[in-house]
């Protein structure tokens, strides 16, 4: 095999909560593609993680954003400043929120929720809105559509998996039989679930998208939240050490 598909691990501490996310690196002779890039401020951790594999930020050719949430695109503007040659790909539906041509739906949702939060959650709600406002927009260089084919790592199919957000995408690595789920499937204690159902913009669509990805019967599912799921159960090398 002349390519590698690597499940990266970004661990970030917020107060006393530990947040770990799993971006994916698609690495072949011509391309080094990062799928999602972590929270605001995660560039140094991402850089360290890439270094372990001998890859620098400057070598990245492409950043794919599965959707516009802060934990997926938070470091995108920092990445682009470090590596202006890196092209940013996202679905045509999601791009206006990534570039802030339109007000991000997640911020809209958080602001609406703020009005109905009980008093004891007001402070948290406000801090969350403030954080979302700090997400730096980036220009999307290439608009993706459902079914698009990329020649990365033996073939990559772009799959529309709406629900969590309207333009959410997942990636099917055809020859490796890996699905990169984004937030279309999350793992909780090894169990596949809908990521944050309470914040899912369209739960019915999200359920359909999850079912659709399962029906592909891929050998492995790389979940941004929770890590790797194989038919034998959860194996996550990063969690074992």
Least Å from the CB of residue 37 to Zn ion: 12
User: Residue 107 and residue 132: Cα distance in Å, rounded?
Assistant: 6
Which part of the chain contacts Zn ion (CB under 5 A), choosing from 30-38, 63-71, 73-81, 101-109? 63-71
Binding residue (CB under 5 A) for Zn ion from 71, 78, 94, 205: 71
User: Residue 210 and residue 214: Cα distance in Å, rounded?
Assistant: 6
Which part of the chain contacts Zn ion (CB under 5 A), choosing from 45-53, 66-74, 87-95, 215-223? 66-74
Which part of the chain contacts Zn ion (CB under 5 A), choosing from 32-40, 73-81, 93-101, 181-189? 181-189
Least Å from the CB of residue 36 to Zn ion: 8
Window 129-168: contact mask with Zn ion (x via CB under 5 A): ----------------------------------------
Least Å from the CB of residue 39 to Zn ion: 10
User: Which of helix, strand or coil describes residue 229?
Assistant: strand
Strands (E), 46-189: 62-64, 87-91, 142-144, 149-150, 156-160, 169-173, 178-182, 186-188
Least Å from the CB of residue 63 to Zn ion: 16
The rounded Cα 92 to chain-centroid distance in angstroms is: 16
Residue 110 neighbours by CB under 8 Å, 6+ apart:
125, 128, 129, 132
Select 78 or 183, whichever has its Cβ closest to Zn ion. Answer: 183
Least Å from the CB of residue 187 to Zn ion: 12
Which part of the chain contacts Zn ion (CB under 5 A), choosing from 76-84, 114-122, 177-185, 227-235? 177-185
What residues form DSSP beta bridges with 169?
A: 160
User: Residue 236 and residue 3: Cα distance in Å, rounded?
Assistant: 20
Q: What DSSP assignment string belongs to 101-123?
A: SS--HHHHHHHHHHTTS-HHHHH
Does residue 183 bind Zn ion (CB under 5 A)?
yes
Which part of the chain contacts Zn ion (CB under 5 A), choosing from 43-51, 70-78, 114-122, 126-134? 70-78
Least Å from the CB of residue 71 to Zn ion: 4
Residue 25 neighbours by CB under 8 Å, 6+ apart:
4, 5, 6, 8, 32, 33, 34, 35, 50, 53, 55
Burial class of residue 108 in the structure, from the number of CB atoms within 10 Å of its CB (0-12 exposed, 13-18 middle, 19+ buried): middle
Does residue 94 bind Zn ion (CB under 5 A)?
no
Least Å from the CB of residue 90 to Zn ion: 14
Residue ranges binding Zn ion (CB under 5 A): 69, 71, 183
């Amino acid at each position: 095999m002349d390519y590698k598909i690597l499940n990266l691990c970004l661990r970030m501490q917020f107060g006393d909560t530990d947040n770990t996310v799993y971006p994916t690196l698609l690495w072949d002779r011509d391309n080094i593609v990062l799928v999602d890039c972590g929270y605001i401020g995660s560039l140094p951790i991402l850089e360290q993680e890439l270094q372990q594999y001998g890859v620098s930020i400057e070598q990245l050719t492409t950043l794919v954003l599965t959707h516009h949430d802060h934990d997926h695109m938070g470091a995108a503007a920092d990445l682009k400043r470090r590596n202006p040659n890196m092209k940013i790909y996202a679905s045509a539906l999601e791009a206006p929120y990534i570039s802030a041509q339109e007000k991000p739906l997640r911020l809209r949702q958080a602001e609406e929720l703020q009005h109905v939060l009980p008093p004891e959650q007001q402070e948290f709600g406000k801090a969350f809105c403030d954080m979302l406002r700090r997400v730096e927009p980036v220009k999307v260089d290439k608009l993706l559509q459902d079914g698009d084919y990329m020649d990365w790592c033996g073939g990559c199919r772009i799959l529309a998996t709406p629900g969590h957000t309207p333009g959410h995408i997942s990636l099917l690595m055809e020859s490796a039989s890996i699905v990169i789920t984004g937030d279309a499937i999350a793992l909780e204690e090894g169990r596949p679930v809908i990521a944050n159902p309470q914040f899912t913009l369209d739960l019915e669509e999200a359920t359909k998208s999850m079912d659709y990805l399962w029906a592909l019967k891929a050998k492995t599912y790389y979940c941004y939240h929770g890590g790797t799921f194989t038919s034998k159960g959860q194996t996550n090398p990063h969690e074992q050490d």
